Structures are given as C-alpha cells and as structure tokens.
Structure 1
Amino acid sequence: MSYDDVEIEDMEWNDEIQAFTYPCPCGDLFQITKAELKIGEDIARCPSCSLYITVVYNPEDFQEDQPPQTQNLGLAKGASAVKVA
C-alpha cells in the first residue's frame, strides 16, 4: 500500500533531476519522471527510504505528441474542396 495518493498538480517539477517531486517524511523527495508517466507509471519512489506514493494524473496529458485533429468537412472520400475567390 502506498504512503499517500498525491495529485500531480501538488508535485513540483525539478529541472535539475528532470522529475516531478514531492516531500517524503524521511526528508528526501519522492520522484517520478515524465518518461515514467508517459508509459503509465503512477508510483513515485523515495530514493532514501522504502516509502512510495501513488501519483494521480491524467495519462493523456503525458502521451507522445498526437497528430492534430482534422476537421471533417463532409466531403466524400476522394473528393476535394475548391477554393472560390
């Protein structure tokens, strides 16, 4: 069982270690990287003790770059739009 459930918004981004961090009772920091979040990891571990927390976040916020959504113009497959001046 995790020590606590923590919202990602309550964690701080640390540029030095390139990870989201949250204070651990032992005095160190729980840590989780963006790469871990992208693969669905939700456990942030403390490197100094055995405690860990569950990070609550929306996995879609950390997915790889998605192609932009295209708008359906209602054209039949193979049809093209004509620009009228």
Structure 2
Amino acid sequence: MSYDDVEIEDMQWNEELQAYTYPCPCGDLFQITKEELKLGEEIARCPSCSLYITVIYNAEDFAENNSKNNLQPQNRQPVTVA
C-alpha cells in the first residue's frame, strides 16, 4: 500500500535528478522519471527508505508521439527533370 496518492502537478521537476520529485517524510525525495511515466509506471520511490507514493497523472501526456509512424504517404506527382 502506497504512503500517499500525489498528483503530478504537485510534484517538482528536478533538473539534476532528471525526475519529478516530492518530499518524503524521511527527509529525502520520492522520485519518478519521464521515461518511467512514458512506460505507464505510477509508483515514485524514495531511495532512502521503503516508502513509495502513487503518482496520479494522465498517461497520454507522457506517451511517445508515434503519429509520424502513422502518416500515410503523400500522393506524388510525376516531375519532369531537364
């Protein structure tokens, strides 16, 4: 059972750790990376103790943008080269 449920908007982006963080009662920070969020992970763990939190977020906000793979080829017109 997680220590708490925390909205992603309540977490802080930490440039040094390259992770979203949230204060842990032990004095350290719960951490979760963008890559973990892209994979659908919702658990942010504290590296100093056994506590973890459940991160509430919209998975679509972190999903890989695969729309370029779904593009249909454009109709090509013949071109005369002189």
Give the structure-1-normalised TM-score.
Answer: 0.78
User: What's the CA shift string for 1:37-68, capped at 9, x where partnerless?
Assistant: 00000000000000000000000000012427
Residue identity opposite 1:9 in structure 2: E
Paired residues in the alignment total 71
Whole-Å Cα distance in 2 between the matches of residues 64 and 58 of structure 1? Answer: 13
Whole-Å Cα distance in 2 between the matches of residues 63 and 53 of structure 1? Answer: 21
**Structure showing the higher helix proportion among its residues:** 2
| Structure 2 match to 1:62 | 62
- Tell me the SS of whatever aligns to 2:31: strand
Percent same amino acid at aligned positions? 77
User: Structure 1 residue runs of 4+, over 3 Å off?
Assistant: none
Q: Does 1:2 align with 2:9?
A: no
Q: Does 1:23 align with 2:23?
A: yes
- Structure 1 gap ranges (5+): 71-79, 81-85
CA-based RMSD of the aligned residues comes to 1.6
Whole-Å Cα distance in 1 between the matches of residues 17 and 44 of structure 2? Answer: 14
- Tell me the SS of whatever aligns to 1:2: coil
- Structure 2 gap ranges (5+): 76-82
